[in-house]
Amino acid sequence: MVDPDEVNALAQLMTWKTAVANIPYGGAKGGIGCNPRDLSMSELERLTRVFTQRIHDLIGIHRDVPAPDMGTNAQTMAWILDEYSKFHGHSPAVVTGKPIDLGGSLGRESATGLGVVFATESVLAEYGKSISGMKFVIQGFGNVGSWAAKLIHDRGGKVVAVSDITGAIKNPDGIDIPALLRYKESNTSLKEFQGTDAMDPNDLLVHECDVLIPCALGGVINKENAADVKAKFIIEAANHPTDPEADEILSNKGVVILPDIYANAGGVTVSYFEWVQNIQGFMWEEEKVNCELKRYMHKAFLDIKAMCQIHNCNLRMGAFTLGVNRVARATILRGWEA
Ligand code: NAD
């Protein structure tokens, strides 16, 4: 469903996200309109290589560094790296989210999900709550959703419903996430996973829970379903899952929304760590990666909270104010003010 308008919007979100995370990047995005599930490995490889041939002059270590997003993974990044290197020589820092054997960072695969969990812990702590014992609903069980589910389960949270493109399942006592992850390795659909009941995917976002974490598509929480959302907290792990009308309806209901430009910034933060390691030619231990990620996520939360206090605004406005102010300050310092 990707198109130029969406790519532009995502590139802009990326600019504010890297500013909120306080990492030395701007914002960019790219995409191919296709369904990767319908393509064979060799078709995916050819598509990625031809795409790279067309954009190799637009990307670069100090220009634009792609990373995996919806429908892409470490293998996609490996093909881009290989194709780019045919034109420019071996350049591991030109992509992040690569396989470890090609210079990828330990902890990158789990980074967005782990960042989501650090962000969730920060916001819950503000309300005197923690993940343990709370009920979670997760839409999307790909890279971000499955890691978030696993890490929440490890911390004693109950994931009461999950969905992916094949369907949705629920269990009011909590789904056995480690078993579901094993099940997914050899099954394409979630629907027949034992110990759960299948449910209508359209009901997932309005299912009874404390915390709703959309980890799939944009625009899924909209004016049609916002009034029926039961969650008290929404953690935007997907990019722009809540449309502006829904945002207003939810705010009026007192739902706390942790915005995407902060909640899912763990991915680009560890992409930055991977790029730093590639440039330095020095690999970090996974513990160091996760520890630094925690530090960046915590600092960004404190910075957003300070903005909310100064401007008496919600977390989304606080995060945007922080990001836009940082970009504006840098722009003015360079002498670009109008
Ligand atoms: P992915 O391709 O690994 O997984 C996407 C998941 O969404 C899959 O489980 C898929 O089945 C599911 N899905 C697709 N359509 C659906 C539908 N209609 N209903 C329910 N589930 C559906 O992608 P990902 O990397 O996990 O990314 C998920 C979201 O997180 C996207 O919005 C992406 O932009 C955002 N994000 C990802 C990263 C990252 O590092 N991967 C970083 C920041 C933000």
Residue 29 bears catalytic tag: yes
Q: Assess if residue 69 is contained within a domain.
A: no
pLDDT score at 1: 86
Confidence of residue 337 (pLDDT cuts 50, 70, 90): confident
Q: Assess if residue 1 is contained within a domain.
A: no
Helix (H, G, I), strand (E, B) or coil at 51: helix
Distance 55 CA to ligand 1 centre (A): 24
Q: Assess if residue 97 is contained within a domain.
A: no
Residue % of the chain over a pLDDT of 90:
98
Rg (Cα) of the chain, in Å, rounded? Answer: 20
Q: What is the number of domains present in the chain? A: 1
Distance 132 CA to ligand 1 centre (A): 25
pLDDT score at 210: 98
CA dihedral 166, 232, 293, 299 (to 10 degrees): 150
Q: Assess if residue 14 is contained within a domain.
A: no
Cα separation, 16 vs 12, whole angstroms: 7
Q: Assess if residue 256 is contained within a domain.
A: yes
pTM of the model: 0.96
Q: Using N-to-C axis directions, what is the helix angle for 266-280 and 108-126, rounded to 10°?
A: 140
On the 0-12 / 13-18 / 19+ scale of CB atoms within 10 A, 255 is buried
CA dihedral 172, 177, 179, 184 (to 10 degrees): 110
Considering Cα of 146, then 120, then 207, then 178, what sign does the dihedral take?
A: positive
For the record, the structure tokens of 270 come out as 């560890």
Sheet holding 158-164, edge to edge: 197-199, 167-170, 158-164, 135-139, 211-214, 233-235, 256-258
Confidence of residue 73 (pLDDT cuts 50, 70, 90): very high
Domain of residue 181: give its range.
105-338
| Tally of helices (H runs) and strands (E runs) in the chain | 12, 7
Q: Assess if residue 27 is contained within a domain.
A: no
Taking CA atoms only, the protein residue closest to ligand 1 atom 18 is 165
pLDDT score at 296: 98
Average pLDDT taken over every residue of the chain: 97
pLDDT score at 338: 61
Catalytic pick among 17, 29, 158, 170: 29
Confidence of residue 191 (pLDDT cuts 50, 70, 90): confident
Q: Assess if residue 185 is contained within a domain.
A: yes
Q: Assess if residue 96 is contained within a domain.
A: no
Q: Read off the CATH number of the domain in which 252 is found.
A: 3.40.50.720
